[in-house]
Structure formats: C-alpha cells, structure tokens
Structure 1
Amino acid sequence: MTSHSPYLFIYGTLLDSGNRFGAFLQANSKLIGAGSFSGRLYDIGHYPGAFFDETCGLKVHGQIVELPDPDKVLSYLDPYEGIGPENEEPYEYTREVISIETENGLLNCWVYLYNHPVNGYRQILSGKYV
C-alpha cells in the first residue's frame, strides 16, 4: 500500500461545509464520489470515529475528494483531527492511506481513523454518520 495519495475519504464533520474545516476542504478539493471501506463507525459525541477492520463484515460510508495540493490541505486538516505537535499522544486520529471501494473499483485514499478506545460509545451499524 502506498503512503501518499491525492485523494481523501471523508465520512464525518468534514462533509459539512458549515464548519470552517469542511468549508476549507470544499474550497480546496474536487468531489469524486461515494465510497466505503470495511470497518466500524462510532458516534464519539459531536463527531464520528471510524476503524478499518476487514473482518467485521460492516462498512463505513462516505465521500472521496481529490486534493490538488494534498500537503497544503492535509496540514490544515490534521490539527482539526487531533494530529500534530500541539496535541497529546496518542493522537485522537491517525491519517492513513487505505483502499476505498468505489463503483469503479478500489482507490487508495487518505482517511482519518479513530485512535482511542470506544468503550461506552454507540456503534453506528449503518456505517453512515448523519
């Protein structure tokens, strides 16, 4: 698997152009379409957390965007996702490249995956955060 990609898979608050990070992403990306990956999705409170898990039989659903300048966009989004020197380790999320299922096959995309325990949080069995 590659560790670089011009694509980002989003499944939570980054889909909302009503917050400044979602608006920034919308202004600095091109919508490619829907996608999903094998995993589990949880409601962490005011936002979701996803885990990649090929064995669970569930999917996390979201959208894929293309980033004309991935370094610029991801460096802006990382602090929002709790990643970086201003945050305590272990970071709340990790950013990884995984294979996302699309109607045209697999596409390697960056995705923010939750990195803390989920005890006490509600699992979203539909895999869709609304």
Structure 2
Amino acid sequence: GMKLGEGVVHGELVEMRDAEICLEKMDQIEGFLGFGQTESLFDRTIVRVETEQGIVWAWTYVYAGNVDADSIIEDGRWI
C-alpha cells in the first residue's frame, strides 16, 4: 500500500458523482474504519495531486501498517 513520503506516486484520478456513497463503499474495500481508528488497514487522507490540467486536492488511501524498505517502489509506478 501507499505510504506518505517525499516521492511521487503515479495513479488514477477519478471524479465521483456522489462522493459520500462512493467513499463509504471505498472505505469498506480499503479497510478504513473511520478517522482515528487504529485498527484500519488504510487511512483516508487528502493529498495534493498534479495533473496535466493543474493542481487538485483528492482523497487517497494510505497504508496504515509498516512497510519494509525492500518493498518500496522507487519510480512510484505501482499499477
């Protein structure tokens, strides 16, 4: 899973028609139990995203566990 850091992560940016319903379903998929819940597999947070059209802010899921240095994807292209 993604961890916040100094590098760049390449991914997909989607726009949701009904963000509340979509985020609720994505929270279930990603194992996000709510803000401040230490048992969550992923945390949901807002990050700065650079697109060809400019800068936007978007929700993303950040892995809440520990990551071994051997599992870091240096170029940020995990898909």
TM-score under structure 1 length normalisation = 0.53
Percent identity between the two aligned chains? 29
Deviation of 1:111 (Å): 0.4
Deviation of 1:109 (Å): 0.4
Number of aligned positions between the proteins = 77
1:60 and 2:9 are equivalent in the alignment: yes
Q: CA RMSD in A?
A: 1.9
1:127, 1:104 → 2: CA distance? 20
Structure 2 residues not aligned, in runs of 5+:
none
Q: What is the identity, as a one-letter code, of the residue corresponding to 1:122?
A: S
Mapped contact 2:33–2:39 kept (Cα < 8 A) = no
TM-score under structure 2 length normalisation = 0.83
More strand by proportion, 1 or 2? 1
Structure 1 residues not aligned, in runs of 5+:
1-48
Runs of 4+, deviation exceeding 6 Å: none
2:57, 2:49 → 1: CA distance? 6
Task: From 35, 38, 44, give the equivalent of 1:95.
Answer: 44
